[in-house]
Amino acid sequence: MANQGVLNAWLYGRPVECTEQQPDRAFHFILLGAPGVGKGTQAEYLSEKYGAVQLSTGDVFRAAKGSDQGVLSPAMQEAMEAMKAGRLVSDDTVVSMVRERTACLSSGYGFLLDGFPRTVEQAKALDEMLAGMNMTLDGVINYALDMEEVVKRLSGRRTCQQCKATAHVIFSPPKQEGVCDKCGGTLFQREDDKPESIRVRLQAYEESTAPLAQYYEAKGLLITITADGAPKAVFAETEKVIGKRFQLA
Minimum CB distance to Zn ion, residue 158 (Å): 10
Work out which of 1, 71, 88, 163 binds Zn ion, going by CB under 5 A. 163
For 189, which DSSP code? -
Amino acid at 36: G
The verdict on whether omega for the bond into residue 117 sits within 30 degrees of 0, i.e. cis, is yes
Work out which of 4, 69, 136, 162 binds Zn ion, going by CB under 5 A. 162
Which of the ranges 1-9, 173-181, 206-214, 218-226 carries the binding residues for Zn ion, by CB under 5 A?
A: 173-181
Number of residues that bind Zn ion (CB under 5 A): 8
Any long-range contacts for 207-214 (C-beta under 8 Å, 24+ apart)? 208/118, 208/119, 209/32, 209/34, 209/118, 211/119, 211/120, 212/32, 212/117, 212/118, 212/119, 212/120, 212/123, 213/32, 213/140, 213/142
Instruction: Reply yes or no on whether 201 is catalytic.
Output: yes
For 22, which DSSP code? P
Decide whether 136 or 186 has the Cβ nearer to Zn ion. Answer: 186
State the CB neighbour count (10 A cutoff) for residue 152: 14
Work out which of 160, 223, 225, 242 binds Zn ion, going by CB under 5 A. 160
Work out which of 97, 98, 125, 180 binds Zn ion, going by CB under 5 A. 180
State the CB neighbour count (10 A cutoff) for residue 134: 7
Which of the ranges 34-42, 44-52, 113-121, 163-171 carries the binding residues for Zn ion, by CB under 5 A?
A: 163-171
Which of these is catalytic: 84, 164, 190, 219? 190
Minimum CB distance to Zn ion, residue 180 (Å): 3
Minimum CB distance to Zn ion, residue 192 (Å): 18
Cα separation, 218 vs 221, in Å, equals 8
Which of these is catalytic: 101, 153, 157, 158? 157
Which of the ranges 100-108, 113-121, 177-185, 233-241 carries the binding residues for Zn ion, by CB under 5 A?
A: 177-185
Decide whether 126 or 180 has the Cβ nearer to Zn ion. Answer: 180
**Which stretches does DSSP call E strand in 100-243?**
110-114, 139-144, 157-160, 166-168, 187-188, 222-226
Instruction: Reply yes or no on whether 118 is catalytic.
Output: yes
Minimum CB distance to Zn ion, residue 100 (Å): 39
Minimum CB distance to Zn ion, residue 118 (Å): 34
The answer to whether the beta carbons of residues 22 and 108 sit under 8 Å apart is: yes
Minimum CB distance to Zn ion, residue 175 (Å): 12
The answer to whether the beta carbons of residues 193 and 155 sit under 8 Å apart is: yes
Residue 240 dihedral angles phi and psi, to the nearest 5°: -60, -50
Decide whether 88 or 163 has the Cβ nearer to Zn ion. Answer: 163
For 175, which DSSP code? S
Work out which of 25, 62, 87, 182 binds Zn ion, going by CB under 5 A. 182
Residues assigned a catalytic role: 39, 118, 157, 190, 201
Contact residues toward Zn ion (CB under 5 A) are: 160, 162-163, 165, 180, 182-183, 185
